[in-house]
Amino acid sequence: MLKKTVEVALNDQLNSEFYSAYLYMSMAGYFEHLSLPGFSNWMKVQYQEENSHTMKFFRYINERGGKVVLKGVNAPPSSWKSPLNAFEETLKHEEEVTENINELLDIAMKEKDHATTNFLQWYIKEQVEEEANVSNIIAKLKMIQGSNESLFLLDKDLAQRVFVDTTMGGTP
Ligand code: FEO
């Protein structure tokens, strides 16, 4: 059975994963509007990943006898200054998520909830991957420096991304 403090913190993070999904769907719309379907595809896959993160919390809370409590989701921004700016904001957002996951882990450890501590390791690893993926695209966008031809090639590259649900296994 989950302690109340842990249950509340897990629910907070579940709800926050919904915001992440919402943010990336908004970015997918922004890139679609810029006629960059590959960038939009990357964000749509990111949206699916965030939904899978939400569902992993959903399953875990229920498995431990807790109750899922949904909250309202804030409206995300709908436009950014440039593709680079959108990815910089993505990195900033993911760094905040990493901090939140670390705080959640601190709560589980303080409550000596070893099962939740173990469960959260998946998210700790996932955040390393998320930040690295976004940083890699930011580096490429900086190299491009406004070249439309290079942007077109990167768009084709990002169109290849496909969603793979890694939340059921042990590693991201
Ligand atoms: Fe759910 Fe992008 O971390």
Do 48 and 167 form a contact (C-beta atoms < 8 A)? no
pTM for this predicted structure: 0.95
Residues 6+ apart with CB under 8 A from 72: none
Q: Could you tell me how far CA 118 lies from the centroid of its own chain? A: 20
Q: What is the mean pLDDT of residues 23-38?
A: 98
CA–CA separation, 40 and 25 (whole Å): 9
112: exposed, middle or buried (C-beta count within 10 Å: 0-12, 13-18, 19+)?
exposed
Expressed in angstroms and rounded, the spacing between residue 114 Cα and the centre of ligand 1 is 22
Q: What is the CA radius of gyration of the chain?
A: 17
Neighbouring CB atoms inside 10 A of 19's CB total 19
Task: Report which ligand 1 atom has the smallest distance to the Cα of 46.
Answer: 2
Please name the residue whose Cα sits nearest to atom 1 of ligand 1.
Answer: 50
pLDDT, one tens digit per residue, over 96-121 is: 999 999 999 999 999 999 999 999 99
For residue 90 and ligand 1, the question of a CB distance below 6 A is answered with: no
Helical segments of the chain, H only: 4-33, 37-63, 83-110, 114-144, 148-158
Task: Report which ligand 1 atom has the smallest distance to the Cα of 54.
Answer: 1
For residue 53 and ligand 1, the question of a CB distance below 6 A is answered with: yes
Q: What is the mean pLDDT of residues 36-61?
A: 98
What percent of the chain is predicted at pLDDT more than 90?
A: 95
Mean pLDDT of the chain: 96
84: nearest Cα among 149, 140, 10 = 140
